Structure 1
């Protein structure tokens, strides 16, 4: 993933964020902790949601990505991870924190969907994107990665790992990234209703929705 200087609003110094190319899940994990620590999010992260984007083929097109060499910023990721902030009270629009995006940081969810997801763009069915939404307070204590997915069969790194130690879950689990990024059509909610939205606050692996349900889902979180 891209390492170029990222855009930011004056109130947020993005240069202070950890950003290791191709380790978006760890970047978002550390970003979530920073937003909580700096008072940009609730101290317990209750207004933050970690969102894994993938599908069964592990081929998800996204636009406005800094790693792209195309004018439209299109990239075909195997998966991608972002953070969505839904501030309490519902008085403001949901915001997207994507450290690999060329959009402003953060971006309104509606802008991100229109510019990056582009649901109106006609795609073959195998490229349809699905979104696993996990409440940050659950993710920040339960997520773990020993980075095994970034090694080939000979044990060589496909991309240089972060310099800090691998992330271990609070219960001692050393790797469960695969549980988050494995997303199947059968996992997705058929409709977004109050009960299904509520499940995101209790389920370790959150809930899975389709690409046309993202704005609707967050509109139902007060």
Structure 2
């Protein structure tokens, strides 16, 4: 599919067209990737999509312009969040404008990556060290094959739901794994890649858990993808 067709197809997309269960962003994005491919908005094999899981050791990450916020600036302190980034290739002299698909955002849907970073992540905003955000980037085809969640993280010590789960069946990986969400969300500062260029991006196409970058590396990462 050409860039022009993709751009035309995203102009009429609304978040309400996609499955969304509050507090289950990882499952929402899993289904979103499949639906974007099914609708022809993304590559049929989801090869232009990347799942981005945002968290840190403290499980405290501030993000702005979130629908769940009661504040005017839309800030929420999530334990983690998950979004989809679509790699776009500019035509001719046009620069690439990668797109962020965030079903929980009040920004445009989708939103270009540069705007999302400046408005939602705000890397220049001074925060305490414990609020530093890290980003695990997983190539969508790999994520769709391997991700699994039986939603155990949404139950309290008595087995009661903290938040009501989706009505559809839990997601099981292709190899039969029933839960590995914790593996994806174990995101630490020591995991952040130090290399630049292809040394930073190549592993995302081969590693089950992708790569982890810092908040000042996110745009650079997608600009380096061949």
TM-score computed with the length of structure 1 as normaliser: 0.94
Contact 2:14 2:109 in 1 (8 A): no
In structure 1, the partner of 2:74 is: 73
Contact 2:64 2:120 in 1 (8 A): yes
Establish whether residue 197 from structure 1 lines up as the match of residue 201 from structure 2.
yes
Deviation readout 1:81-114 (Å, 9 max, x if unpaired): 0000003567531100000000000000000000
Contact 1:192 1:213 in 2 (8 A): no
- 10-19 or 35-44, which deviates more: 10-19
Separation (CA, whole Å) in 1 of partners of 2:110 and 2:17: 15
Aligned residue-pair number:
215
Superposed counterparts of 1:58-69, under 5 Å: 58-69=59-70
Separation (CA, whole Å) in 1 of partners of 2:196 and 2:170: 35
Deviation readout 1:121-166 (Å, 9 max, x if unpaired): 0011111000000000000010000000000010000000000000
Instruction: Please identify runs of 4+ aligned residues in structure 1 that moved more than 6 A.
Output: none
In structure 1, the partner of 2:51 is: 50
Among 157, 164, 170, the alignment partner of 2:161 is 157
Deviation readout 1:55-96 (Å, 9 max, x if unpaired): 000000000000000000000000000000003567531100
- 158-167 or 185-194, which deviates more: 185-194
**Cα distance change on mapping 1:185 and 1:194 into 2, 3 Å:** same
Secondary structure, aligned partner of 2:77: strand
Separation (CA, whole Å) in 2 of partners of 1:128 and 1:13: 31
Kindly report the root-mean-square deviation, in angstroms, between the aligned alpha carbons of the 2 structures.
1.4
Separation (CA, whole Å) in 2 of partners of 1:103 and 1:16: 16
TM-score computed with the length of structure 2 as normaliser: 0.92
Superposed counterparts of 1:130-145, under 5 Å: 130-145=134-149
Q: What displacement does 1:190 show?
A: 1.9
In structure 2, the partner of 1:215 is: 219
Separation (CA, whole Å) in 1 of partners of 2:38 and 2:96: 21
Unaligned runs of 5+ in 1: 1-8
Unaligned runs of 5+ in 2: 1-9
Q: What displacement does 1:193 show?
A: 2.5
Q: What displacement does 1:198 show?
A: 0.7
Contact 1:144 1:168 in 2 (8 A): yes
Separation (CA, whole Å) in 2 of partners of 1:75 and 1:57: 15
Separation (CA, whole Å) in 2 of partners of 1:188 and 1:107: 25
Superposed counterparts of 1:1-222, under 5 Å: 10-88=11-89, 92-222=96-226
Q: What displacement does 1:12 show?
A: 1.4
